[in-house]
């Protein structure tokens, strides 16, 4: 059936009035009625949909969101149409969304265009009902109109946005010397809608790396350590030919790197390097690093040996004894982590592609796997159907409710479903139908 949202406040009013009438009509004033059962815990599951711009799967036509509760999300007889019935999130292109840990609030920073860099938040009330709360604030003067930002896991208190700009430097004889990478970092009070701190820094690599033409070209996905005194920021490296200062594409991939800053001051930047994983740690649209059991676990991308999950310990250094290779765990080659999210038990759902992924309308895409951070195991979730037109590169959100993780699966321009993975039992539930429109796709749950 097509899902029609009915305001829960109306239902509550009906039940209260009905109870009063029944009470007044009772002939036995001394009758002791059993207490009402405690309501089951519910959580809003907000589905995000990206409309096509000019090309199928580009997501540049704007973002719409629609919310149902977790039980309805598990019900395959429920059908929702976010592209027709959803709330339009302010953003020129695909919105950059985050949600509170309980799913009751959606945070958005619009991406690009005249409204780019504007922060807003909404209370989730079900269906297309998202009520703006607090005041809008623009962070564009600090980090630009297309900021890369994330919500820190500090009880929904703070967001962090980052950018990096680069400039090649030459000596008096026009010989290449190094590339200056200037990083900007801003923290945002999500509760009071105000900027907390902003700092800019020059981010240097080792002298040898810079002499050889390496530099940090993109940063993203800040995450706090458990002590709350360090901020880790993922990084991507690029390289020029130091003889010509021309960009290179085929070059040696260095160990994965992360920028470390004091928090909340955002001072004293340093760079740490993994000897286990190689490639980038900045991710793309989805959170790329998470705090679990005292350490930060971070995915890397573009690793010549396939993606790894890396571990940063309480000493703010990579734990190079932790060697979680997705290639080895899955028995596949050239794996690439597109997005992932752990539950509180250390088990996670991971979206990935690999060397055997077929080319679809939006490129080679992939699959979902269930991984265990402690056991360092991974298994493809076969119960979620694969389609070469299922687009995961722009995937943003995984709603977590206890040990359950909610994902969307629908090929570009085709209908699909919500799937719910119980990370403790590995059970998979096929849930509500997602009605799609031509050229568009779903980018996750919140």
Statement: residue 361 has pLDDT above 90: no
Give the tens place of pLDDT for each residue, 251-307. Answer: 999 999 999 999 999 999 999 999 999 999 999 989 999 999 999 999 999 999 999
Transcribe 269-322 into DSSP letters: -EEEEEEEEESB---SSS--EEEETTEEEEE-BS-TT--EEEEE-TTSSB-TT-
Percent of the chain's residues with pLDDT above 70? 91
* pLDDT exceeds 60 at position 153: yes
Average pLDDT, integer, range 241-250: 96
Whether 175 has a pLDDT exceeding 60, the answer reads yes
Mean pLDDT taken over the chain: 91
pLDDT (tens digit per residue) in 224-234: 999 999 999 99
Are 361 and 331 in contact by the 8 Å Cβ rule? The answer is: no
pLDDT tier at 91, thresholds 50, 70, 90: confident
Q: For residues 413-418, give the mean pLDDT.
A: 98
| Radius of gyration, alpha carbons of the chain | 24
Per DSSP bridges, beta strands 230-239 and 367-372 are unpaired
Alpha helices in 81-181 (DSSP H): 82-85, 140-143
pLDDT band with cut points at 50, 70 and 90 for residue 16: very low
Strand ranges in 300-409 using DSSP code E only, listed in sequence order: 308-312, 324-325, 336-342, 347-353, 359-360, 363-364, 367-372, 377-380, 399-401, 404-409
Q: pLDDT band at 362, cuts 50/70/90?
A: confident
Q: What is the pLDDT of residue 1?
A: 52
Per DSSP, 33 falls in state: P
Tell me which CATH code domain 8-445 carries.
2.130.10
In 3D, which of 303, 84, 107, 291 has the Cα closest to residue 191? 107
Cβ–Cβ under 8 Å, residues 270 and 240: no
> Which two structure tokens, joined as six digits, stand for 411?
């090929």
User: CA 372, CA 425: separation in Å to the nearest integer?
Assistant: 12
Q: What pLDDT, on the 0 to 100 scale, is given for residue 34?
A: 52
Can you read off the two tokens belonging to residue 85? 């019935």
Does residue 7 have a pLDDT over 50?
A: no
Q: How far apart are CA 232 and CA 188, in angstroms?
A: 16
CA distance 172 to 49: 52
Q: Which residues have CB under 8 Å from 19's CB, separation 6+?
A: none
The confidence score (pLDDT) of residue 344 equals: 95
What does the alpha-carbon distance between residue 186 and residue 204 come to, in Å, rounded to a whole number? 19
């Amino acid at each position: 059936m097509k899902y029609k949202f009915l305001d829960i406040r109306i239902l509550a009013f009906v039940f209260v009035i009905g109870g009063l009438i029944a009470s007044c009509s009772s002939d036995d004033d001394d009758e002791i009625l059993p207490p009402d059962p405690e309501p089951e815990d519910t959580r809003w599951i907000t589905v995000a949909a990206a409309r096509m711009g000019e090309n199928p799967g580009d997501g540049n036509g704007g973002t719409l969101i629609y919310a149902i509760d977790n039980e309805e999300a598990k019900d395959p007889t429920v059908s929702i149409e976010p592209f027709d019935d959803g709330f339009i999130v302010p953003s020129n292109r695909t919105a950059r969304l985050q949600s509170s840990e309980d799913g009751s609030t959606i945070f958005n920073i619009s991406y690009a265009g005249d409204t780019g860099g504007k922060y807003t938040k909404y209370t989730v009330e079900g269906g297309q009902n998202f009520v703006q709360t607090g005041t809008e604030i623009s962070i564009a003067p600090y980090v630009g109109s297309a900021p890369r930002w994330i919500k820190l896991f500090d009880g929904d208190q703070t967001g962090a946005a980052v950018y990096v700009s680069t400039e090649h430097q030459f000596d008096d004889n026009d010989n290449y010397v190094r590339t200056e990478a200037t990083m900007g970092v801003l923290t945002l009070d999500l509760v009071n809608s105000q900027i907390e701190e902003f700092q800019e820094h020059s981010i240097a690599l080792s002298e040898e790396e810079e002499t050889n033409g390496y530099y940090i070209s993109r940063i993203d996905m800040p995450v706090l350590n458990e002590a709350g005194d360090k901020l880790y920021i993922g990084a991507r490296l690029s390289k020029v030919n130091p003889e010509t200062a021309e960009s290179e594409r085929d070059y040696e991939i260095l160990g994965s790197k992360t920028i470390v800053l004091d928090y909340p001051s955002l001072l004293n930047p340093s760079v740490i390097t993994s000897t286990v994983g190689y490639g980038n740690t900045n991710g793309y649209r989805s959170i790329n690093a998470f705090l679990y059991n005292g350490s930060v676990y971070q995915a890397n991308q573009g690793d010549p040996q396939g993606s790894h999950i890396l571990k940063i310990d309480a000493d703010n250094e990579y734990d190079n004894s932790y060697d979680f290779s997705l290639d080895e765990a899955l028995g596949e080659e050239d794996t690439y982590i597109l997005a992932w999210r752990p539950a509180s038990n250390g088990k996670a759902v991971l979206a990935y592609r690999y060397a055997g992924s077929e080319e679809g309308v939006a490129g080679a895409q992939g699959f979902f796997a269930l991984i265990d951070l402690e056991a360092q195991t991974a298994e493809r979730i076969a119960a979620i159907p694969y389609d070469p037109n299922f687009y995961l590169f722009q995937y943003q959100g995984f709603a977590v409710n206890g040990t359950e993780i909610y994902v969307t699966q629908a090929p570009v321009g085709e209908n699909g479903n919500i799937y719910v993975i119980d990370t403790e039992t590995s059970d998979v539930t096929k849930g509500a139908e997602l009605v799609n429109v031509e050229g568009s796709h779903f980018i996750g749950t919140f």
